[in-house]
Amino acid sequence: MKNVEELFEEGKAQMDRIQVPDELEMRLRNALEKAEPKPKPLSFYQRHARQFKIALVLVLALLIGFNYNVIASYGKQLFGYDQVMDGTLRELNELGKGQLIGKSHTFSNGVSLTVDYVMLDENQLLLFYTVKAPAGDVTNALSPFMSLQNLFGESRCISSQGRINEEESEVNYIASFEPPSLLARKLTLNFALNGQGVSTPAEITFSLDRNTAMGHTLKKELNQTIVVDQTELILQSIVASPTRTVIKGSAQNILSLAMDTLSGERFRPTDINLRLIANGEAIEVKGRGLSTDMKGITFHTNFDALPASLQELKLELVSFSADQDVNQQYSLNREEKPQVLDMLGQQVEINKLEETHGETLLTLTSEESVVLTKVYLLADGQEIALEETINDDYQKSLDGTIKHQRTLRFLGTGKDLQLDVRRMTYSKSYNKVIDIPLD
């Protein structure tokens, strides 16, 4: 039997004798050139890339659909005014309530004003604007007088507040204007550069998007009357909007004003202190004022916005202050101390009467709100004007009221002394509460 080595040798010799046809190499080469290359193995993501893209688009569409308001409001939010806005405005800003403006004007000296944002509801238009002064002293760069004009009239500026940076080169303001006419679509802010006695005027015009206006949340005629001293307070209306709540009323009509003037019994309200209570909690007062015009004496009080969930609403007249003609003379007793004088229901104590170096010093005490605004000393029938008030002192009494002691100084004296009080101001507490229906 042949061994393995011999068999291998015979096989090798046989393979060497085989002749490969010349055309076979050419056929194999042509076949390889025409054959498509074998693709590399694909990853899982590559095999399902189309499905992944479709799924991603669907997820984004769902996210935008469910959070469209959030995304839109974030795009409209105002930044840089956090220290100027109160809590109510901060919440409205976070909700994207308002309109981005982004228009500016730059003067030749580098001072610029940019209108950043506007919030509008039934009670007011809030203008957010930035003033920059590269040279510093930004608060004096522009004239304090500005107006907001539209085709149908002017919106009066009610108030403004701002915050300045440490370098005093930039300040962010929020100004409150009367709401413009419902027909107004374009507004023009007029302002001026402060100069050496000459102001350089400028203006910025922008479109008002009424779709961003917020309207009101509560609007009612109150028509409630409260009798106070010689007049009647009429609480006329309440308008609550997202930015503030406004109570309006009247104290005297024009006829009553005229009759008071002719009779010599002048009576003028000087302050009306109201408290608005929502769900048992007092709403913060933002400001109040009185005005006199052809309608008579009117008043208003601005409060913060009402809570979203309103269950109960009350309005309280806390106190009433007035400036009233007295036109009465009071004989002064050198022996009786203290001598108590009744002035329109207000108690005034004469604590001390001193006569020295031809002068009369009269020390008296009253409640804190009582001020003798027009007073003379009659010495033996001679009228002596008040020279000055000295030694002001305030003390809290046992019942919690504040007492005001002061000394009136008159340059003159005499045997027969009278205090001639012609006018005084005072305040009275009322704590009268009315319910405001919500239906």
- Total domains, the chain: 3
Judged by DSSP in three states, 16 sits in helix
317 lies in the same domain as 237: yes
Relative orientation angle of helices 68-76 and 49-66, to the nearest 10 degrees: 70
Provide the residue range defining the domain that includes 225. Answer: 218-324+431-435
Residue type, 432: K
The answer to whether position 84 is within a domain reads no
146 lies in the same domain as 158: yes
Taking the C-alpha atoms of residue 118 and residue 212, their distance in angstroms, rounded to an integer, is: 9
Cα of 290 vs its chain's centroid, Å: 19
The answer to whether position 405 is within a domain reads yes
The answer to whether position 112 is within a domain reads yes
Which DSSP string do the residues of 150-178 spell out, in sequence order? ETTEEEPEEEEEEEE-TTSSEEEEEEEEP
- 266: domain CATH number is 2.60.40
Asked whether the bond before 338 is cis by omega within 30 degrees of 0, the reply is yes
* Last-in-domain residue among 154, 180, 212: 212
* Last-in-domain residue among 189, 212, 235: 212
pLDDT in tens, 98-113: 999 999 999 999 999 9
The answer to whether position 53 is within a domain reads no
Positive or negative, the CA dihedral 129, 130, 133, 139 is positive
Which backbone phi and psi does 30 adopt, to 5 degrees? -65, -40
Spell out the residues 6+ positions from residue 415 whose beta carbon is closer than 8 angstroms to its own.
Answer: 380
335 lies in the same domain as 275: no
The answer to whether position 313 is within a domain reads yes
The answer to whether position 43 is within a domain reads no
342 lies in the same domain as 376: yes
Looking at residue 416, its pLDDT comes to 95
- 130: domain CATH number is 2.60.40.1640
Looking at residue 260, its pLDDT comes to 77
* Last-in-domain residue among 197, 212, 227: 212
249 lies in the same domain as 158: no
300 lies in the same domain as 352: no
376 lies in the same domain as 319: no
227 lies in the same domain as 317: yes
Taking the C-alpha atoms of residue 358 and residue 120, their distance in angstroms, rounded to an integer, is: 64
The answer to whether position 13 is within a domain reads no
Q: Tell me if 285 sits within 8 A of 303, measured CB to CB.
A: yes
106 lies in the same domain as 207: yes
313 lies in the same domain as 388: no
Looking at residue 259, its pLDDT comes to 81
Query: What's the burial of 414, exposed, middle or buried (CB within 10 Å: 0-12/13-18/19+)?
Result: middle
Per residue of the chain (439 residues), give pLDDT as tens: 455 455 556 655 555 555 554 444 544 454 444 444 545 555 554 555 556 555 544 544 444 444 434 334 444 557 778 888 998 999 998 888 999 999 999 999 999 999 999 999 999 999 999 999 998 889 889 988 899 999 999 999 999 999 999 999 999 999 999 999 999 999 999 999 987 556 689 999 999 999 999 989 999 999 999 988 778 899 999 999 999 999 999 998 888 888 877 777 788 889 999 999 999 999 999 999 999 888 889 999 999 999 989 999 999 999 999 999 999 999 999 888 889 999 988 999 999 999 999 999 999 999 999 999 999 999 999 999 999 999 899 988 887 889 999 999 999 999 999 999 999 999 989 999 999 998 7
Looking at residue 439, its pLDDT comes to 77
